Amino acid sequence: ALAFDNRGGARRLTEHLLTLGHQRIAYVAGPVERTTTRHRLEGHRDAMEAAGLGDAVDALTVHGPYDRRSGYDATLELLRREPALTAVVAANDTVALGACAALREQGRSIPDDVSVAGFDDLPFSADAMPALTTVRLPLHEAGARAGRLAMGREAAPAGGIATVPADLVVRGSTAAARG
């Protein structure tokens, strides 16, 4: 089996924001029952706890579907909870676009006022304004490898599970925190 490193990718994404000076980082998570949601939130939490900010994670996390509307609604809720938030990490790039719309509607500039980051590096992410910082999952390469494994053209990984790395892609939607 192949497993994407959702936990590690989310951790690196949050660490990126922390190195930019962000401390009030909100998280728009996916559905509670999804393994992907749990792993990505665990990675975010790991980074926040390592920075001494773990106590804020639950209060600044909202769960919802993996869609644009969820990102929009959750971001409005998170702004009500923490008007001074400086960054939003979204469960995926589609959710991130909803977060961006809510922030713009509230008069917040991206990334000057609030940095926004997504996950998956969907094709539109590079074309968003500003281009979206995200985590890329190598779907094509993973699919090709899965095919080779299934056809016996590649040896099975030790323990039966191989982890596929996730890469941080930094673009214009994240910047240093103000103040």
Residue ranges covered by each domain of the chain = 2-169
Distance from C-alpha of 107 to C-alpha of 79, rounded to nearest angstrom: 12
The mean of the pLDDT values for the chain is: 94
Question: Measured in Å, how far apart are the chain's first and last C-alpha atoms?
Answer: 46
Model confidence over 83-101: pLDDT tens digits? 999 999 999 999 999 999 9
pLDDT computed for residue 4 by the predictor: 87
- Provide the percentage of residues in the chain whose pLDDT is more than 70: 99
Burial class (CB in 10 A: 0-12, 13-18, 19+), 90: buried
Mean per-residue pLDDT, 72-86: 98
CATH architecture, range 2-169: 3-Layer(aba) Sandwich (3.40)
Distance from C-alpha of 72 to C-alpha of 159, rounded to nearest angstrom: 41
pTM for the predicted model, two decimal places: 0.91
- The first and second tokens of residue 61, run together, are 């996390």
Mean per-residue pLDDT, 122-131: 95
87 vs 161, higher pLDDT: 87
CB 7 within 8 A of CB 39: yes
Report residue 69's pLDDT band, with 50, 70 and 90 as the boundaries.
Answer: very high
